[in-house]
Amino acid sequence: MLNGTTAEIKPREALRINPAKTCQPIGAMYASLGINGCMPHSHGSQGCCAYHRSHLTRHFKEPVVATSSSFTEGASVFGGLANMTQALSNIFTIYNPKLVAVHTTCLSEVIGDDIPMMIKKATEEGIIPAGKRVIHANTPSFVGSHVTGFASMVAAMVKYLSESSGKTEAQLKDDGQLNLIPGYIDPADMRELKRIVKEMGVKTVMFPDTSGVLDLPQDGRYRMFPSGGATMEEIKSAGDSVGTIALGHFASHPAAIELDEKCKVPAALLELPYGLTNTDLFIHALRNHGGVDVPATIGEERGRLLDAMSDMHQYFHGKRVAIVGDPDHVIALTQFLVELDMKPVYVFTGSSGKHFEQRLTDILANHAPDAMVKQNVDLFELHQQIKNNPVDLIIGNTYSKYISRAENVPFVRFGFPILDRMGHRYFPCVGYMGALRLMELINDALLDHKDRDCAEENFELIQ
Q: Tell me if residue 106 is catalytic.
A: yes
What is the mean pLDDT of the segment spanning 346-350? 97
Whether the pLDDT of residue 120 is over 60: the answer is yes
Task: Determine the topology of domain 24-161 in CATH.
Answer: Rossmann fold (3.40.50)
Residues in contact with 330: Cβ distance below 8 Å, sequence separation at least 6, in sequence order? 323, 324, 347, 348, 349, 356, 360
* Sequence ranges of the domains in the chain: 24-161, 169-271+284-294, 301-458
Residue (of 69, 57, 230) closest to 154 by Cα position: 230
Whether the pLDDT of residue 197 is over 80: the answer is yes
Whether the pLDDT of residue 369 is over 80: the answer is yes
Q: Which long-range contacts (CB under 8 A, 24 or more apart) does 215-219 make?
A: 215/60, 215/62, 215/187, 215/188, 215/191, 215/425, 215/426, 216/62
Whether the pLDDT of residue 1 is over 60: the answer is no
One-letter amino acid for residue 26 of the chain: I
Whether the pLDDT of residue 53 is over 70: the answer is yes
Catalytic option among 38, 48, 106, 391: 106
- Alpha-carbon distance of 212 to 425, in angstroms, equals 12
The confidence score (pLDDT) of residue 231 equals 97
Whether the pLDDT of residue 298 is over 60: the answer is yes
Contact 264, 166 (CB under 8 A): no
Dihedral sign of CA atoms 257, 32, 375, 368 in order:
positive
The confidence score (pLDDT) of residue 293 equals 95
The confidence score (pLDDT) of residue 168 equals 86
**How confident is the prediction for the chain on average, in pLDDT?**
95
The confidence score (pLDDT) of residue 72 equals 86
The confidence score (pLDDT) of residue 386 equals 97
pLDDT digits (tens, 9 = 90+) for 233-282: 999 999 999 999 999 999 999 999 999 999 999 999 999 999 999 999 99
The confidence score (pLDDT) of residue 14 equals 84
pLDDT confidence band for 2 (50 / 70 / 90): low
Same fold, 24-161 and 169-271+284-294: yes
Across 156-177, b (16+ Cβ under 10 Å) vs e yields bbbbbbbebeeeeeeebeeebb
The confidence score (pLDDT) of residue 180 equals 98
What is the mean pLDDT of the segment spanning 322-339? 98
Q: Minimum mean pLDDT among 116-130, 159-173, 197-211, 341-355: which range?
A: 159-173
Could you say which architecture CATH assigns to the domain 169-271+284-294?
3-Layer(aba) Sandwich (3.40)
What is the mean pLDDT of the segment spanning 28-42? 98
The confidence score (pLDDT) of residue 65 equals 95
pLDDT digits (tens, 9 = 90+) for 381-424: 999 999 999 999 999 999 999 999 999 999 999 999 999 999 89
Q: Which residues lie across from 394 on neighbouring strands?
A: 322, 411
Tell the burial category of 317 from Cβ atoms under 10 Å away from its Cβ (0-12, 13-18, 19+): exposed
pLDDT confidence band for 350 (50 / 70 / 90): very high
Whether the pLDDT of residue 174 is over 90: the answer is no
User: Is 301-458 a domain of CATH 3.40.50.1980?
Assistant: yes
